Amino acid sequence: MPVEKFEKLVSSCVPLAIDNVDTDQITPARFLKATTREGFGAKLFCDWRYDPAGKPRPEFVLNDPTYKGAILVAGKNFGSGSSREHAAWALVDYGFKVVVSSFFADIFKSNALNNGLLPVQVSEEFVSQLFETIEKNPEAKVKVDLENQTITNLETGSSEEFEIGAYKKNCMLNGYDDIDYLLSKSKEIEQFEKEKV
Partner 1 sequence: MAGKTIIDKIWDKHIVESIDDSTGVFYIDRHFIHEVTSPQAFAGIKKRGIKVARPEKTVATADHNIPTQNQHLTIHDELSRLQVNTLSRNCEENGIELYGLNHPYNGIVHVIGPELGITQPGMTIVCGDSHTSTHGAFGTVAFGIGTSEVEMVLASQCLILSRPKKMRINIDGTLGKGVNSKDIVLYVISQISAGGATGYFVEFAGSAIRSLSMEARMTICNMSIEMGARGGLIAPDETTFNYIKGREMAPKGEEWEKKLTYWRSLPSDPDAVFDRELHFKAEDIEPMITYGTNPGMGVGITGKIPALDELNPSDHKSFLKSMEYMGYQPGEPLLGKKVDYIFVGSCTNGRIEDLRAFSAFIKGKKKADNITAWIVPGSKQVEAQAKKEGLIKILEDAGFEMRQPGCSACLAMNEDKIPTGKYAVSTSNRNFEGRQGPGARTMLASPITAAAIAITGEITDPRIFLEEPELVS
Check residue 133 for interaction with partner 1 (CB under 8 A).
Answer: no
Sign of CA dihedral 186, 191, 193, 197: negative
Check residue 35 for interaction with partner 1 (CB under 8 A).
Answer: yes
CA distance 42 to 176: 27
Please report how close the Cβ of residue 132 comes to partner 1 at its closest, in angstroms.
Answer: 13
Among 110, 123, 122, 144, smallest CA distance to 13 is for 144
For residues 36-63, one letter each, b for 16 or more C-beta atoms within 10 angstroms of the residue's C-beta and e for the rest, the string is eeeebeebbbbebbbeeeeeeeeeebbe
For residue 100, count other CB atoms closer than 10 A to its CB. Answer: 26
Please report how close the Cβ of residue 143 comes to partner 1 at its closest, in angstroms.
Answer: 26
CA distance 96 to 70: 4
Check residue 93 for interaction with partner 1 (CB under 8 A).
Answer: no
What is the three-class DSSP state of 74? strand
Please report how close the Cβ of residue 80 comes to partner 1 at its closest, in angstroms.
Answer: 6
Binds partner 1 (CB under 8 A): choice among 6, 96, 104, 162: 104
List the interface residues with partner 1, window 170-189 (CB under 8 A).
178-179, 181-183, 185-186, 188-189
Check residue 82 for interaction with partner 1 (CB under 8 A).
Answer: yes
Binds partner 1 (CB under 8 A): choice among 11, 41, 47, 138: 47
| Cα–chain center distance at 137 | 22
Check residue 37 for interaction with partner 1 (CB under 8 A).
Answer: yes
Check residue 165 for interaction with partner 1 (CB under 8 A).
Answer: yes
CA distance 21 to 75: 7
Interface positions with partner 1 (CB under 8 A): 1, 17-20, 22, 24-25, 28-30, 32-37, 47, 52, 75-77, 80-86, 88, 103-107, 110-111, 114-115, 124, 128, 165-168, 178-179, 181-183, 185-186, 188-189, 192-193, 196-197
